[in-house]
Amino acid sequence: MPQWAGSCWYYLRFCDANNGDRFIGKEAEEYWMGSAKNPGGVDLYVGGTEHAVLHLLYARFWHKVLFDLGHLTTSEPFQRLVNQGLILGDDGVKMSKSRGNVVNPDSVIAEYGADSLRLYEMFMGPLEHAKPWSMTGVEGVYRFLARVWRLAMSEDQEGNWILSEDLTEQELTNAQRRVLHTTIKKVSQDVEALSFNTAISQMMICTNEFTSAKPRPVEALRLFLPLLSPFAPHLAEELWMRLWKKFSGFTGLASQAAWPSWNEEYLVVDEISYAVQINGKVRGHLTVPTSAGKETVEKMAFADASLSPHLEGKEVKKVVVVPGRLVNIVVAG
């Protein structure tokens, strides 16, 4: 059958291409197309919005007609079907040569690298939504990847990139362990849900947590780089190879490393930070157990040595504790 008509059932023919009697034999269909209880030979089918009408919708229709006529034993061709949205031009309309709003991927790759292009396309927004292109967004993702690079690398006096001296084999702090395991859980679940943009957002949060850490635990990169690998494979593999030369646990490829698993115990927040204001100005911060009540938080604030200079010789008029947020102390004099 010509053009779109033939494309509505080609996946069935591929299952038994050499069969000269039927478009698909019974044994081939049972093997490739699932069963009546679990129909769908294609685990995941992703197609564009326009493609959805011209092919995906009709493919399902044709499949059901063949099923109703008794030619197939499964009622569905695909186990999961996702329609991705269009990437629009920076003017907010569909890209077209006639409009002059087409973006050449080669020029983006030449300036920012393939990882930046790949990552930005996933970061633009939900997969199913139409999204306008923005070079500012590409630059933002490029800067994020630069921060990831600097987690492991630094420049020497000659301008060469070398492994950072800040990297050490040390225990993760509670806060670092929490953000890492939160990231592992978020990225794992978002990849399954095809929510790539929110997975990348969480990886950005994780990167920011370790950017200012000195010394920096190399364990963070052992767990983080396999998560980054499907999104930015070139950068992840380059860092993995360089770390392999000095640290253990970086054998093989990042893409072949075991996918990290999270521990729910590490996700529990057992401490919380309070901002301490004196007459409306922030003068310090407190880290207290999450179970601490207002009275305990208040006592800890007055016991903090860093706040003593702001309270010495002054009369306390009022103390307001906002649970989980701040302590506001009003003084006179």
What pLDDT sits at residue 39? 76
- What is the pTM assigned to this prediction? 0.79
The 3-state DSSP class for residue 145 equals: helix
The predicted pLDDT at position 270 comes to: 76
pLDDT digits (tens), the chain, 333 positions: 566 677 788 889 999 999 999 999 999 998 999 876 777 888 888 888 777 766 777 888 889 999 999 999 888 888 888 888 888 998 889 888 888 889 999 999 999 999 999 999 999 999 999 999 999 999 999 999 999 999 999 999 999 999 999 999 999 998 899 999 999 999 999 999 999 999 999 999 999 999 989 999 999 999 999 999 999 999 999 999 999 999 999 999 999 999 999 999 999 887 888 999 999 999 988 888 888 889 899 999 988 888 888 888 888 999 999 998 999 999 986
Q: Are residues 308 and 214 in the same domain?
A: no
**Among candidates 176, 146, 172, which has minimal Cα distance to 161?**
146
Let me know whether 239 and 280 are in one domain: no
Q: How many residues does the chain have?
A: 333
The packing angle between helices 174-192 and 196-211, to 10°, is: 160
The pLDDT value given to residue 2? 60
Cβ contact 44:82 at 8 Å: yes
Residue of 207, 328, 220 lying closest to 279 (CA atoms): 328
285 membership: H or E segment, kind and range: strand 281-289
Measured over the CA atoms of residue 101, residue 107, residue 113 and residue 115, the dihedral's sign is positive
Q: Are residues 286 and 255 in the same domain?
A: no
Give bridge partners of residue 316 from the DSSP assignment. Answer: 331
Write down the pLDDT at residue 189: 98
Residues 209 and 325 in one domain: no
- Shared domain check, 234 and 125: yes
Predicted local distance difference test score (pLDDT) of residue 3: 65
- CA separation for the pair 25, 111 (Å, rounded): 51
Residue 261 and residue 123 in one domain: yes
Residues 24, 59, single domain; the answer is yes
Q: Quote the number of domains for the chain.
A: 3
Q: CATH number of the domain that 298 lies in?
A: 3.10.20.590
227 and 113 share a domain? yes
What confidence score (pLDDT) does residue 333 get?
Answer: 65
DSSP-assigned letter for residue 73? S
Residue 105 preceded by cis peptide, ω within 30: no
Domain boundary among 268, 288, 318: 268
Q: Is residue 224 part of a domain?
A: yes
Residue 263's domain comprises: 88-97+108-268
CATH number at residue 246: 1.10.730.10
- Amino acid 36: pLDDT: 67
* Cα separation, 247 vs 245, whole angstroms: 6
Q: Examine residue 102 and state whether it is found in any structural domain, yes or no.
A: no
Rounded to whole angstroms, how far apart are CA atoms 7 and 160?
53
Q: Which two tokens stand for residue 9?
A: 């059932």
Assess if residue 65 is contained within a domain: yes
Q: Residue 171: what pLDDT? A: 94
